[in-house]
């Protein structure tokens, strides 16, 4: 299997380096070989080539069987021309590879229940939500868009736009995902206000006819944000557009107490998938061996499961991570106040020892 590594910026390189060690160890255990290529993205790519997404990167990613990404962005590039911001690299690779489906599972592991921000009685029954976020459309990519001046004042706009085929294919992904879980999909929109959301809802209802075994409900996005913190146990799969999914997946991640724990998979209809932790580049702790590598290690597990059908190998990683937490190892982001935390490398080493 060929894997293209996009380490990116901030803590990206350090977490990716640890995750690759885990992949190699699992490969050794199960007799699999992984070959790696490396390419530039984000700020690192801007510094080296002037572009956040060089053509060579797109080519290597498309030739690979899967892509592993660290994170992009940082204060160094905050004042750069918006057309070449590091984030454009990430949006660009998603679009170029046709990765329209972003799976973001937010799970509260029993070992981390004390890190959860919600009251124990609220999360008594656990927390296991899969956010299915549309990733290559909506307001992130809609035209027309504008940033500038009009009538003597600053002025800007973006367009939230969805075509039926874009909604239908992400709805399918959500219904299929629900079939492998608890069989429930909640579609999140703003159909009481937005025309685009009314189209979204109609198409989701129509596609649901092909999945009569799955339960479908609808929720306005403001209510969904509230329900996520009020009673997250009510959700199984949440499917939504690009912007709402960006926001709700951070909320879902944060209530587990550990944005440093959550992986993601970005998939297209065919071709390689891209796997990345949902947290950002954390420039404040970059290079200090303080980052939590577990979200990236768990992203490797998602890669093995979704791109390579290597279920046993993926289970092995998940179990090693859980055992590591059971043994009490904690990085700074998930440690209880006053308790001792370990660094990025030591955390990864503990996982390696448990494989
Ligand atoms: C995410 C991030 C990205 C997004 C940024 C870095 C462009 O927040 O993956 O959720 O908005 O999609
Ligand atoms: Mg985000």
The reported pTM is 0.95
Ligand 1 in contact with 90 (CB < 6 A)? yes
Domains and CATH numbers, the chain: 1-116+262-355 (3.40.718.10), 119-255 (3.40.718.10)
Establish whether 190 is a catalytic residue.
yes
> What ligand 1 atom has the least distance to the C-alpha of 246?
10
What is the Å distance from ligand 1's center to 179 Cα?
A: 27
CA distance 246 to 309: 27
The best mutation among 246, 250, 264, 279 to test binding of ligand 1, ranked by most ligand atoms within 8 Å of the C-beta, falls on: 246
pLDDT at res. 136: 98
Q: Which of 88, 190, 211, 333 is catalytic?
A: 190
Q: What does DSSP say about strands 263-267 and 273-277: parallel, antiparallel, or unpaired?
A: antiparallel
Ligand 1 in contact with 253 (CB < 6 A)? no
Residue 50: pLDDT band (50, 70, 90) is very high
> Is pLDDT of 61 > 90?
yes
pLDDT at res. 256: 86
> What ligand 1 atom has the least distance to the C-alpha of 249?
10
The best mutation among 11, 52, 53, 87 to test binding of ligand 1, ranked by most ligand atoms within 8 Å of the C-beta, falls on: 87
- Nearest partner of 274 among 98, 111, 39, 38, judged by Cα: 98
Establish whether 162 is a catalytic residue.
no
Edge-to-edge strands of the sheet including 66-71? 35-38, 2-8, 66-71, 273-277, 263-267, 101-107, 128-134, 237-240, 184-189, 215-220
Ligand 1 in contact with 276 (CB < 6 A)? no
> Is pLDDT of 321 > 90?
yes
> Is pLDDT of 20 > 90?
yes
Element (H, E) at 274: strand 273-277
What is the Å distance from ligand 2's center to 61 Cα?
A: 22
Among protein residues, the one with the nearest Cα to ligand 1's atom 6 is 87
Q: Which of 140, 162, 211, 275 is catalytic?
A: 140
CA distance 215 to 217: 7
Please give all residues whose CB falls under 5 A of ion ligand 2, grouped by chain where several chains appear. Answer: 246
> Is pLDDT of 33 > 90?
yes
Ligand 1 in contact with 71 (CB < 6 A)? no
Which residues does 250 contact at the CB level (< 8 Å), separation at least 6? 259, 278
CA distance 158 to 331: 39
> How many CB atoms within 10 Å of residue 101?
24
pLDDT at res. 114: 83
pLDDT at res. 307: 95
How far is C-alpha 44 from the geometric centre of its chain's CA atoms? Answer: 21
Q: Which of 189, 236, 246, 333 is catalytic?
A: 246
Average pLDDT, the chain: 96
Residue 155: pLDDT band (50, 70, 90) is very high
pLDDT at res. 125: 79
Position with higher pLDDT, 257 vs 20:
20
pLDDT at res. 40: 98
- Provide the 3-class DSSP secondary structure of residue 71: strand
> Is pLDDT of 83 > 90?
no
Query: Do residues 263 and 302 touch, judged by C-beta distance below 8 A?
Result: yes
Instruction: Count CA within 13 A, CB hemisphere, residue 354.
Output: 22
Q: Which of 189, 236, 250, 333 is catalytic?
A: 250
User: Bridge-partner residues for 149, per DSSP?
Assistant: 154
Which residues does 78 contact at the CB level (< 8 Å), separation at least 6? none
Residue 79: which region, alpha, beta or left (left: phi > 0; alpha: psi -120 to 50)? alpha
Per residue in 177-206, pLDDT tens? 999 999 999 999 999 999 999 999 999 999
Ligand 1 in contact with 99 (CB < 6 A)? no
Per residue in 229-251, pLDDT tens? 999 999 999 999 999 999 999 89
pLDDT at res. 69: 98
- Nearest partner of 90 among 53, 142, 55, judged by Cα: 53
Which residues does 195 contact at the CB level (< 8 Å), separation at least 6? none
Query: Do residues 231 and 219 touch, judged by C-beta distance below 8 A?
Result: no
Task: Name the residue with tokens 């660009």.
Answer: 92
Establish whether 246 is a catalytic residue.
yes
Ligand nearest to the CA of residue 133, numbered in listed order: 1
Selection from 55-59, 258-262, 276-280 with the highest mean pLDDT: 55-59
pLDDT at res. 113: 85
């Amino acid at each position: 299997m060929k894997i293209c590594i996009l380490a990116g910026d901030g803590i990206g390189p350090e977490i990716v380096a640890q995750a690759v060690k885990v992949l190699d160890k699992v490969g050794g255990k199960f007799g699999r070989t992984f070959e790696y290529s490396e390419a530039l993205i984000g700020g690192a790519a801007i510094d080296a080539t002037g572009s956040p997404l060089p053509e060579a990167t797109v080519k290597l990613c498309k030739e690979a069987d899967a892509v592993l990404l660290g994170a992009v962005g940082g204060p160094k590039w905050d004042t750069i021309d918006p057309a070449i911001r590091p984030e454009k690299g990430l949006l660009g690779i998603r679009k170029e590879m046709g990765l329209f489906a972003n799976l973001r599972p937010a799970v509260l592991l029993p070992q981390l229940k004390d890190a959860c921000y919600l009251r124990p009685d609220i999360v008594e029954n656990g927390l296991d939500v899969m956010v299915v976020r549309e990733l290559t459309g909506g307001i992130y990519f809609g035209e027309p868009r504008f940033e500038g001046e009009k009538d003597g004042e600053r002025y800007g706009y973006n367009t939230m736009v969805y075509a039926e085929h874009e909604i239908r294919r992400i709805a399918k992904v959500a219904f299929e995902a629900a079939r492998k879980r608890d069989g429930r999909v909640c579609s999140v929109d703003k159909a009481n206000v937005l025309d685009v959301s009314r189209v979204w809802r109609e198409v989701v209802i129509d596609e649901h006819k092909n999945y009569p075994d799955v339960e479908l409900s609808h929720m306005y996005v403001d209510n969904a944000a509230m329900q996520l913190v009020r009673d997250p146990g009510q959700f199984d799969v949440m499917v939504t557009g690009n912007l709402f999914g960006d926001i709700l997946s951070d909320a879902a991640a944060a209530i587990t107490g550990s944005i440093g724990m959550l992986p993601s998979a970005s998939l297209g209809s065919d071709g390689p998938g891209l796997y990345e932790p949902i947290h950002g580049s954390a420039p404040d702790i970059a290079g200090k061996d303080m980052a939590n590598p577990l979200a990236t290690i768990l992203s490797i597990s998602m890669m093995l499961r979704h791109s390579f059908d290597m279920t046993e190998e993926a289970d092995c990683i998940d179990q090693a991570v859980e055992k590591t937490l059971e043994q009490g190892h904690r990085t700074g982001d998930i440690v209880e106040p006053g308790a001792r935390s370990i660094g990025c490398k030591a955390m990864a080493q503990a996982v390696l020892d448990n494989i």
